[in-house]
Structure 1
Amino acid sequence: MIDTTVFQNKTAVYYTLGCKLNFSETSTIGKLLREAGVRTARKGEKADLCIVNTCSVTEMADKKCRQAINRLVKQHPGAFVVVTGCYAQLKPGDVAQIGGVDLVLGAEQKGELLQYLGDLQKNESGEAHATATKDIRSFAPSCSRGDRTRFFLKVQDGCDYFCSYCTIPFARGRSRNGTIASLVEQAREAAAEGGKEIVLTGVNIGDFGKATGETFFDLVKALDEVEGIERYRISSIEPNLLTDEIIEFVASSRRFMPHFHIPLQSGSDEVLELMRRRYDTALFASKVKKIKEVMPDAFIGVDVIVGTRGETEEYFENAYQFIAGLDVTQLHVFSYSERPGTQALKIDHVVSMEEKHRRSQALLTLSDEKTQAFYARHIGQTMAVLMEKPKADAPMHGFTANYIRVEVESDDSLDNQIVSVRLGEFNEDKTALKGIVLA
């Protein structure tokens, strides 16, 4: 039994780096601490407890984590500092040695944070608890409201793929998941809290079911029956796991939105082989074609990595032409970053930083062209938009079913409401369409 009296009237700040899954897990940690009596610190207030949830997908991510930790230590002198997440799992000893850090928790310990906090007294040196990757077994549930309208439901964790460039299987452990019954119950609770949209998150969500003998398609069908949730979005799903039956189900579903995020990583078959990906460009193109056949207005986001070891100029040009020919909406472009312990380090041909930047900019320009063309096709249409509370001095905005960002005149009564909006022209920086709410 945990004695929570030590937490009464304490304040905490939270800092999250990385993916939607991390943000979901931080929100769940915050909920646990609030239930134990910890209040979120107000802006400018010195906190008693700092929680940093880290990312380690690139070398730059590691650097940002260290900077964030040092910044929080300075901003909150005397606070008990806890670091968790992927960087903490991969390099617990290094993190524990950062000045001011008191506690480092790996992937297996993250969900049991309260048990490790003790009396919140500062330690002379950081104390690290991180289970070896092969021994990570637990699945920590998380269904949390972000700082916007939507909820994030963690359905799966870990990855069994071991792509040559990636450390995530070492940071997150092997693939595991919650049960469909438990996830459906969490969705019902989100609906009871007023949630209208849920994003399904995980590390490799299409791999759902290994731990429970179920399938991702079974999960999708079960969630579709939950009353009160108006919209579901499927976060990143591997192309080889995005089955035709899933695509067809989304096309006929009222609740699952015509919005997909599919990692391609490279449009070159030779580079995909070097990456140890489990598909080729032909399979990827067939998935895009299938989606567009049954959902012509579907939004398709695509992850691409540039400058991986072995990506020659010829391979990149082939990749660029392949991507240019895809009927997709947006590219999320990442520059390759070498990670210790990965098989990619054995590959010859290193791409310079300058060349990585050039390739990245070329794809980002292509992305803008595709996104703006997609938006432009919808100008003049009337579409349902789920409105979100705006940040200070910003226009109110929301998203259509197919993820077009729409800006309207601010009206607090519209927050978390689905309204009919006539889509107009682009806003000034072409990141959204201006809209008029119809009575």
Structure 2
Amino acid sequence: MNKKVAFYTLGCKLNFSETSTIARNFEDEGFERVEFNQPADIFVINTCSVTDNADKRFKTIVKQAQKFNKEAFIIGIGCYAQLKPEELAAVDGVDLVLGATEKFKVTDYLNDLSKNDFGEVHSCEINEADFYVGSYSIGDRTRAFLKVQDGCDYKCTYCTIPLARGISRSDELGNVLKNAEEIAAQNIKEIVLTGVNIGDYGKGEFGNKQHKHTFLEMVKALDEVKGIERLRISSIEPNLLKDETIDFVAQSNSFVPHFHIPLQSGSNELLKKMRRRYMKELYINRVERIKKKMPDACIGVDVIVGFPGETDELFLETYNFLNQLPISYLHVFTFSERENTVAAEMQGVIPHKVRKKRSKMLRGLSAKKRRAFYESQLGKTKTVLFESENKEGYIHGFTENYVKVKFPWNPNLCNTLNEVELTEIDADGLVKIKTNTFEEVV
């Protein structure tokens, strides 16, 4: 009988793309992939280490796996596995821990699936992670995540990602296009481009630090790929989001009017302490240009609260800055001290109670911003890509500009694109569409 393997992914879209690729490698070796909530011989947990909470969740997931099979072989991979392999290996039940480069060869380490008293570690020094492994996710969601870049050369004072993923390096453009064509052949309607710092695309091809291609060149090439209805840029640094890219997206065949642009703070004083590569004035410029070219564009923002030295005044500066910007939603991160980062040693530590309060305030602002954005779209006709899950009698989907809609469940709508009129916002905050829109669909 084929051995069964299950996967659990913590963290970002990049992790999901890599999990999916690693899962296909298992299937190529004759393993049968099953859902994580089923008994399996092997459980692979792809970890994140952006926050303390992600670290803690790993132990919980290991216990979940053990409930399905006490004798299962449990493997930890991903960012936490690279940063703290010994700590992860010491978790009861963990048998194997693989670092940044080793995770892509996981099946090479499976000669013996006997349980170990202590987890076995194979983890390189991060400066050895200087080659690129392409990845994309299919079969897990309606959209596919396509990895185009990995690693980061930035030195933000709060961030461990360069320690976990190494230097900035990119996929060769021909391979990006080949992967996009493979995704298109699977009848997937939307690709989300992902990476650690995708605006830095082109650096590190073939191991060098020069840009062979630019992010804009990649975007233009992907726009020509046949069979992909939508392309979505995930997260891109404001200093790397150039006017030319914004202008191209505005008239593109496939790229949608949705940008996610990390801000982290609306205070120039804190941006300097964070060693970000822009000031808030540049951020205003990016948002204004997007809205000028694409008035209905959705703009998401990452922001950190509780960074050392964030006084009440500086927090309110960020709050007011975001409140005045025509943005659509926030991803709020509560600052947590990470080992081997400059910020962990900074003066002016903010009490956890204050961090929590500020986080709640910004999440409230995010809800207000999303509501206002959704209201601005009512009465307009947009194209919805419907998901494939029945959620309490409704099918959900997203418009090109990332408005989440709901409609009474109809399996014929799964993974289809449909023009709809946005009519009202329901009690759950989602947008309803005209009830007679799909009368002809049976």
TM class, shorter-chain normalised? over 0.9
- 1:111 is paired with a residue of what secondary structure? helix
Report the AA paired with residue 174 of structure 2.
Answer: A
How far, CA to CA, are the matches of 2:308 and 2:35 in structure 1?
Answer: 46
Point out the more displaced range, 145-154 or 188-197.
145-154
How far, CA to CA, are the matches of 1:263 and 1:173 in structure 2?
Answer: 20
Does 2:252 match 1:253?
Answer: yes
Does 2:409 match 1:416?
Answer: no
Contact kept, 8 Å, 1:24 with 1:154, in 2: the verdict is: yes
User: How far is 1:141 from its partner?
Assistant: 1.1
* Structure 1 partner of 2:277: 278
Does 2:128 match 1:135?
Answer: yes
Contact kept, 8 Å, 2:384 with 2:418, in 1: the verdict is: yes
* Structure 1 partner of 2:155: 162
User: How far is 1:124 from its partner?
Assistant: 3.2
**Among 110, 116, 135, which residue is 1:117 paired with?**
110
Tell me, which stretches of 5 or more residues in structure 1 are unaligned? 1-7
Point out the more displaced range, 61-70 or 314-323.
61-70
User: How far is 1:360 from its partner?
Assistant: 1.0
Tell me, which stretches of 5 or more residues in structure 2 are unaligned? 206-211
User: How far is 1:42 from its partner?
Assistant: 5.4
User: How far is 1:434 from its partner?
Assistant: 4.1
Report the AA paired with residue 248 of structure 2.
Answer: F
Contact kept, 8 Å, 2:420 with 2:433, in 1: the verdict is: no
How far, CA to CA, are the matches of 1:290 and 1:168 in structure 2?
Answer: 30
Contact kept, 8 Å, 2:390 with 2:409, in 1: the verdict is: no
**Among 146, 162, 179, which residue is 1:186 paired with?**
179
For 1:78-135, what per-residue CA distance to the aligned partner results, in whole angstroms no more than 9, with x for missing partners?
Answer: 1111110001000111111112111100011111111111132223321101111111
User: How far is 1:406 from its partner?
Assistant: 0.9
Does 2:389 match 1:390?
Answer: yes
Report the AA paired with residue 57 of structure 2.
Answer: K
**Among 60, 74, 78, which residue is 1:81 paired with?**
74
Does 2:16 match 1:17?
Answer: no
How many residues align? The count is: 432
- 2:284 is paired with a residue of what secondary structure? helix
How far, CA to CA, are the matches of 1:356 and 1:377 in structure 2?
Answer: 32
- 1:29 is paired with a residue of what secondary structure? helix
For 1:267-304, what per-residue CA distance to the aligned partner results, in whole angstroms no more than 9, with x for missing partners?
Answer: 00001011010000000000000000100000000000
How far, CA to CA, are the matches of 2:243 and 2:255 in structure 1?
Answer: 15
Change (3 A) 1:43 1:13: closer
Report the AA paired with residue 399 of structure 1.
Answer: F
What is the RMSD of the two structures over their aligned residues, measured on CA atoms? 1.4
For 1:234-292, what per-residue CA distance to the aligned partner results, in whole angstroms no more than 9, with x for missing partners?
Answer: 01100000000000000010200000000000000001011010000000000000000
Contact kept, 8 Å, 1:23 with 1:146, in 2: the verdict is: no
For 1:178-222, what per-residue CA distance to the aligned partner results, in whole angstroms no more than 9, with x for missing partners?
Answer: 111000010001111101100000000001111132111111011
Kindly report which structure 2 residues correspond to 1:32-51, keeping only aligned pairs within 5 A, or say none.
32-41=25-34, 45-51=38-44
* Structure 1 partner of 2:46: 53
Relative to the length of structure 2, the TM-score reads 0.95
User: How far is 1:435 from its partner?
Assistant: 4.4
How far, CA to CA, are the matches of 2:152 and 2:329 in structure 1?
Answer: 25
Change (3 A) 1:435 1:272: farther
User: How far is 1:23 from its partner?
Assistant: 1.2
Contact kept, 8 Å, 1:406 with 1:435, in 2: the verdict is: no
Kindly report which structure 2 residues correspond to 1:205-224, keeping only aligned pairs within 5 A, or say none.
205-212=198-205, 213-224=212-223
Contact kept, 8 Å, 2:76 with 2:96, in 1: the verdict is: yes
Report the AA paired with residue 367 of structure 1.
Answer: S
Contact kept, 8 Å, 1:25 with 1:142, in 2: the verdict is: yes
Contact kept, 8 Å, 1:407 with 1:435, in 2: the verdict is: no
- 2:319 is paired with a residue of what secondary structure? helix
How far, CA to CA, are the matches of 2:56 and 2:106 in structure 1?
Answer: 24
* Structure 1 partner of 2:356: 357
* Structure 2 partner of 1:5: none
How far, CA to CA, are the matches of 2:7 and 2:231 in structure 1?
Answer: 27
* Structure 2 partner of 1:307: 306
User: How far is 1:22 from its partner?
Assistant: 0.7
* Structure 2 partner of 1:268: 267
Relative to the length of structure 1, the TM-score reads 0.96
Point out the more displaced range, 282-291 or 16-25.
16-25
Point out the more displaced range, 185-194 or 412-421.
412-421
User: How far is 1:368 from its partner?
Assistant: 1.1
Contact kept, 8 Å, 1:88 with 1:104, in 2: the verdict is: yes
* Structure 2 partner of 1:145: 138
Change (3 A) 1:419 1:47: same
How far, CA to CA, are the matches of 1:391 and 1:58 in structure 2?
Answer: 32
How far, CA to CA, are the matches of 2:151 and 2:69 in structure 1?
Answer: 33
- 2:430 is paired with a residue of what secondary structure? coil
- 2:309 is paired with a residue of what secondary structure? coil
- Identity among equivalent positions (%) equals 50
User: How far is 1:432 from its partner?
Assistant: 3.5
